[in-house]
């Protein structure tokens, strides 16, 4: 009997999700024994034409990591959606946009202008920029188009399941793969799997007293008390606005949660949730003092939406169009 077919693909991301799959250690042998891995360009020599030649719906499970930043990312998302029975947004980049999605706080033109003309290390006297199509004597060269905005996988194609994390933690990956391999019932399509149903705070063993805050610190400015809630100590920790499932690993290492597991259940916008949490602990009723306290938070948009700009209500920078 033929094995179920598994595909893995890496779009706009750092590649950490690919490493996380290998971090399941010896259990990867069970995965390889159960599945026929038909596409995994990071680990094996596959070509796009190999996927194009497959029958539609012939891939049983596809773990797609990475956001949609270029025309190539979009083309592969549409191709793998057509070829896959179950398509999973694997990791924060695919699920919420993650670090690549911070580019939505600026514009395509500003990015290209900085990279190819204004950065201190750039030497480009003629102002040459990459072109999607360029003709040379040997023929036409083609590179992917760099889109105006970063999108999540679900903003491009229908997604069956979401596995959050930057990257997803190996025990959660194992749990999901084991459920699929054993035929265990899965939640309805569109569900988040490989994560918890509460917040990161619920996994954190630190003592919280909900102290009122008059000053925010960056992690390098103080030595945190390892027993006390980091937010109570004035360190921005996104635990109240982040889904559980990682085991509060960063907090256990005396570093604040950055929000990589995305918003908790029934929360639409992670940044708004965190702003609400901060509003309840700031120790002042005076508008000027409140503003002074908030000014201690560097780059609030990238702090509250570090992993979720494309999936948020904010979504991207708005530009004024004049006639």
User: Does residue 80 carry a pLDDT above 70?
Assistant: yes
Confidence of residue 321 (pLDDT cuts 50, 70, 90): low
Rounded mean pLDDT, 55-74: 97
pLDDT score, position 320: 55
Lowest mean pLDDT across 89-93, 136-140, 182-186: 182-186
The total of other beta-carbon atoms located within 10 Å of residue 230's CB is 24
Question: What is the pLDDT, as a whole number, of residue 284?
Answer: 81
Calculate mean pLDDT across residues 51-73. 97
Per-residue model confidence as pLDDT tens digits over 290-319: 889 889 998 999 999 999 999 999 898 876
Instruction: Give the 3-state secondary structure of residue 40.
Output: coil
Long-range contacts of 18-25 (CB under 8 A, 24+ apart): 18/42, 18/43, 18/65, 19/167, 20/91, 20/165, 20/167, 20/168, 20/169, 20/170, 20/173, 21/63, 21/173, 23/170, 23/173, 24/170, 24/173, 24/174, 24/177, 25/170
Residue 43 has pLDDT above 90, yes or no: no
pLDDT for res 213: 86
Mean pLDDT over the full length of the chain: 93
**What is residue 186's predicted lDDT score, i.e. its pLDDT?**
87
20-34, 45-59, 252-266, range with the lowest pLDDT: 20-34
What pLDDT is recorded for position 44?
86
Superfamily of domain 5-99+149-192 in the CATH hierarchy: NADH:ubiquinone oxidoreductase-like, 20kDa subunit (3.40.50.700)
Task: Please report where in the chains the tokens 């937010």 appear, as a residue.
Answer: 231
Place of tokens 């570093």: 255
State residue 270's pLDDT score: 96
User: What SS3 class is residue 150?
Assistant: strand
* pLDDT at residue 322 in the model: 53
pLDDT digits over 191-230, tens only? 999 999 999 999 999 999 878 888 999 989 999 999 999 9
Instruction: Return d(Cα 144, Cα 122) in angstroms, integer.
Output: 22
The token pair at 225 is: 């008390």
Provide the b/e sequence for 111-135 (b: ≥16 CB within 10 Å): eeeeeeeeeeeeeeeeeeeeeeeee
Mean local confidence (pLDDT), 172-180: 91
User: Domain locations in the chain?
Assistant: 5-99+149-192, 109-147, 200-304
91-119 per-position pLDDT tens digit: 999 999 999 999 999 999 999 999 999 99
- Degrees (nearest 5) of the Cα angle 312, 100, 277? 40
73 CB burial (10 A radius; 0-12, 13-18, 19+): buried
Given a contact cutoff of 8 angstroms between Cβ atoms, the answer to whether 56 and 48 are in contact is no
Tens digits of residue pLDDT in 222-277: 999 999 999 999 999 999 999 999 999 999 999 999 999 999 999 999 999 999 99
pTM: 0.92
């Amino acid at each position: 009997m033929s094995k179920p077919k598994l595909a893995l693909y890496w779009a706009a991301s750092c590649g950490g999700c690919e490493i996380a799959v290998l971090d399941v250690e010896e259990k990867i042998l069970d995965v390889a024994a159960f599945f026929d891995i038909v596409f995994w360009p990071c680990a094996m020599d596959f070509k796009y034409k190999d996927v194009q030649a497959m029958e539609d719906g012939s891939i049983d499970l596809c773990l797609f990591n990475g956001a949609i930043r270029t025309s190539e990312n979009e083309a592969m998302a549409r191709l793998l959606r057509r070829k896959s029975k179950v398509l999973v947004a694997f990791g924060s980049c695919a699920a919420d946009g993650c670090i690549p999605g911070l580019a939505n706080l600026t514009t395509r033109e500003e990015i290209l202008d900085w990279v190819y003309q204004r950065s201190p290390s750039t030497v480009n006297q003629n102002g040459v920029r990459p072109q999607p199509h360029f003709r040379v004597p040997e023929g036409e060269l083609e590179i992917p188009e760099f889109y105006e905005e970063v999108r999540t996988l679900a903003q491009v194609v229908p997604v069956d399941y979401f596995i959050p994390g930057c990257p997803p933690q190996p025990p959660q990956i194992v749990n999901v793969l084991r459920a699929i391999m054993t035929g265990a019932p899965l939640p309805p399509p569109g569900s988040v799997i490989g994560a918890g149903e509460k917040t990161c705070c619920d996994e954190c063993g630190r003592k919280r007293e909900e102290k009122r805050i008059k000053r925010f610190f960056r992690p390098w400015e103080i030595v945190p008390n390892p027993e006390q809630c980091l937010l109570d100590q004035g360190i921005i920790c996104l635990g109240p606005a982040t889904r559980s499932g990682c085991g509060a690993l960063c907090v256990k290492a005396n570093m604040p949660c950055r929000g990589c597991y995305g918003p908790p259940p029934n929360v639409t916008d992670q940044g708004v949730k965190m702003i609400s949490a901060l509003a309840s602990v700031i120790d002042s009723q005076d508008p000027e003092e409140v503003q002074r306290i908030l000014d201690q938070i560097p780059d609030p948009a990238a702090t509250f939406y570090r992993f979720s700009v494309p999936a948020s209500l904010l979504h991207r920078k708005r530009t004024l169009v004049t006639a």
